[in-house]
Structure 1
Amino acid sequence: MNEFLIVGGGVIGMMTALQLADAGHGVTLLERGRCGREASWAGGGIVSPLYPWRYTRPISALSRWSEGFYPELALRLLEETGIDPEYRQKGLLYLGVEDEARAMDWAREVGKPLERVDADFLYRKEPQAAPGFGDALWMPTLGSIRNPRLGQALRARLAAMPRVTLEEDVTVTGLRVADGRVTGVDSEQGRWSAERVIVCGGAWSAGLLASAGVELPVRPVKGQMILFRAPPGLVERVVLLDGRYVIPRGDGRVLAGSTLEEAGFDTSTSESARASLRDSAIRIIPALADCEVEHHWAGLRPGSPDGVPMIGAVPGLANLYVNAGHFRNGLVLAPASTHLLVDELLGREPIVDPAPYRLG
């Protein structure tokens, strides 16, 4: 019997497995498809909430801890796997911010570099940004990571670790409960037992916990994105305007996102969303009008009340833990939220106060 059984092979599940294996523990990870191919793959990879001053303190606490973790993780994974997650720290430009005073107050409070810059600065940084802006907000420390490559690298690292067993294409159907204790899971492919079970199933977490009579307020929220094939250097850093954004990759490609749709588990794309995303991207970088839209996809975020993830032991069922409900910030919060859960699992001093994330 394994010490730990993780259900869900996204960035949250894989980072949890990596930390437990690093600490010398045996882990089995079950994934319904292929690891890193759901929300972890579908997002944009900005290593910050879009407008961090608009979020609650629990989200900010995890975000601040996580941001400094990605450069080290990217270098480690590149060295260990040969796969480059492409962490880029080139800053972020905010255009047309209406609550600038609130943003600056937040930056002073948390000690985050954020400044108001003039048009000369803006267009030196991004010459192709839409003309006519007299100023912008500039966050120089913000980074982005190529999340599909991050998922590939995490999967490759786990596959090479002797204490980790990856089981993909496993559809978990329910939790196994006896005498108030969770002993494992049932799946279409068989049964797995473990001393402790950790649910990291993203938008599917609520359904799994419901099989044991636990109500988890997590729902799928669809987000559509598009990818432009652009010449290298057209866009160098993340740029935001009116809640939409463009994110450059090292090879020149530019992501644009994203929609927010309450559509259940539907992952279909729509022409109206494609057109809206393209229009938003061109409003930010007009030259994208001449670039091909190479790809269009949708993913399912794990929506939750206020976007605060639920992390820790599940009340009323021994040996069951959850890490879910990160909404739009799963990748942003993954390092801190997984570290916080592993702190609880291994009896370590927590990196932040765990109380705001507890269930029940």
Structure 2
Amino acid sequence: MSDFLVVGGGVIGMMTTLQLADAGHSVTLLERGRCGREASWAGGGIVSPLYPWRHSAPVSRLATWSEGFYPELALRLFEETGVDPEYRQKGLLYLRVDDEAQAERWAREVGKPLERVSADFLYAKEPQAAPGFDDALWMPTLGSIRNPRLGQALRCRLEAMPRVTLREGSEVTGFRQSAARVTGVETADGIVEGDHTIVCGGAWAAELLERVWMALPVRPVKGQMILFEAPPGLVNRVVLMDGRYVIPRADGRVLAGSTLEETGFDKTTDAEAKASLRASAIGIVPALAECEVEHHWAGLRPGSPDGVPFIGAVPGLEGLHVNAGHYRNGLVLAPASTHLLVDALLGREPILDPVPYRLEGRVTSRR
């Protein structure tokens, strides 16, 4: 029997497992498919909310703490696994921002470097950016990470840790209970016992918690993205305009995203979305019109009512905990949200005030 069971092998689940194992605990991670292959793989990897000044204080606090964690994590994983998550801190350029005053006010309040820059600065940084802009907003400290590589590196590290048991292809179908305590999970291969169970199921978290009559307001929100096969140096940093973005990778490829679609658990792609994403990307960097779209995919974000994740114990059931509902910011918020939950599980001083993220008062029971 493990000290902890983690249900869901995305970045949230894998980071939770890593932190618990680092603290000396035995952990079994259960993933119905392969670790890191759902929303964690499908996203863009920007280590910030797209427009951070438009988010609530609880989201901003998690994002600010997490941003400083990624350089160290990426270096650690590269050294331990040989898989480079490709963390790049080259800043972000915002084109055509209509709430610039709010952005600048937010930056002053949180101490974040953000400034309006001239056209000369913009085109010196990104010569291929769309012509005609007189200025832009510039956030120099923002980084990005190649999220599929991050997932691969986390999985490799966990696989090598003696305190960790990875059970992929193991779908959780229910929870094992004794009175008002969860003592494990039920799978097609039998019961897996653990002292504590942590649901990190992303868009599927609500379905899992329905098994214990808990109505968690988390829903799937589809996002489609495309990947251009571009020459190295065409795009050098993240550029965002009108809610769409382009993200360069170290090998020159450029991601463009993303759509927001309420289609349930449907992950199919469509030509209309592909054309829209391509047009948006070309609107940001016209030279992408000459590049082939190499790949087109969709993922499911765990949408929540206000974008504030649910982090903490499930009311009325001992031994059951949740970390879900990060919406578009799962990778952005993962370090802080997982650390916050692990702090609670291990009785440590929390890195942030946990109250805004708790389930009490934010979820209902169907009993």
TM-score range for the pair, normalised by the shorter chain length: over 0.9
- 2:144 is equivalent to residue 144 of structure 1: yes
Shift of 1:189: 2.2
TM-score by length of 1: 1.00
AA at the equivalent of 2:206? A
Shift of 1:171: 1.1
TM-score by length of 2: 0.98
What are structure 2's unaligned runs of at least 5 residues?
361-367
Aligned counterparts of 1:199 and 1:345: Cα–Cα separation in 2: 13
Q: What pairs up with 1:194-205 in 2 under 5 angstroms?
A: 194-205=194-205
- 2:148 is equivalent to residue 130 of structure 1: no
Match of 2:288 in 1: 288
Q: What pairs up with 1:2-17 in 2 under 5 angstroms?
A: 2-17=2-17
AA at the equivalent of 1:290? E
Aligned counterparts of 1:325 and 1:190: Cα–Cα separation in 2: 28
Q: Could you say what secondary structure the match of 1:240 adopts? A: strand
Match of 2:315 in 1: 315
AA at the equivalent of 1:126? E
Aligned counterparts of 1:259 and 1:162: Cα–Cα separation in 2: 40
**Bigger mean CA deviation after superposition, 140-149 or 174-183:** 174-183
Match of 2:72 in 1: 72
* Same amino acid, percent of matched pairs: 79
- 2:53 is equivalent to residue 27 of structure 1: no
- 2:230 is equivalent to residue 211 of structure 1: no
Q: How many residues align?
A: 360
CA contact (8 A) 1:227 1:254 kept: yes
Match of 1:300 in 2: 300
Q: Could you say what secondary structure the match of 2:98 adopts? A: coil
Deviations 1:118-160 (A, max 9, x none): 1000000000000000000000000000000000000000000
Deviations 1:267-296 (A, max 9, x none): 000000000000000000000000000000
Aligned counterparts of 2:188 and 2:210: Cα–Cα separation in 1: 17
Shift of 1:307: 0.5
Q: What pairs up with 1:204-243 in 2 under 5 angstroms?
A: 204-243=204-243
CA contact (8 A) 1:174 1:186 kept: yes
Aligned counterparts of 2:301 and 2:178: Cα–Cα separation in 1: 32
Aligned counterparts of 2:22 and 2:248: Cα–Cα separation in 1: 32
Aligned counterparts of 2:20 and 2:185: Cα–Cα separation in 1: 19
AA at the equivalent of 1:257? G
Deviations 1:61-111 (A, max 9, x none): 000000000000000000000000000000000000000000000000000
Q: Could you say what secondary structure the match of 1:167 adopts? A: strand
Structure 1 segments of 4+ aligned residues over 2 angstroms from their partners? none
CA contact (8 A) 1:175 1:209 kept: no
AA at the equivalent of 1:292? E
AA at the equivalent of 1:333? L
CA contact (8 A) 1:228 1:255 kept: yes
Match of 1:189 in 2: 189
AA at the equivalent of 1:147? N
Aligned counterparts of 2:215 and 2:81: Cα–Cα separation in 1: 39
Match of 2:255 in 1: 255
AA at the equivalent of 2:73? L
RMSD: 0.4
Deviations 1:29-74 (A, max 9, x none): 0001000000000000000000000000000000000000000000
What are structure 1's unaligned runs of at least 5 residues?
none
CA contact (8 A) 1:181 1:319 kept: yes
- 2:107 is equivalent to residue 107 of structure 1: yes
Q: Could you say what secondary structure the match of 1:259 adopts? A: coil
Q: Could you say what secondary structure the match of 1:217 adopts? A: coil
Aligned counterparts of 2:178 and 2:24: Cα–Cα separation in 1: 28
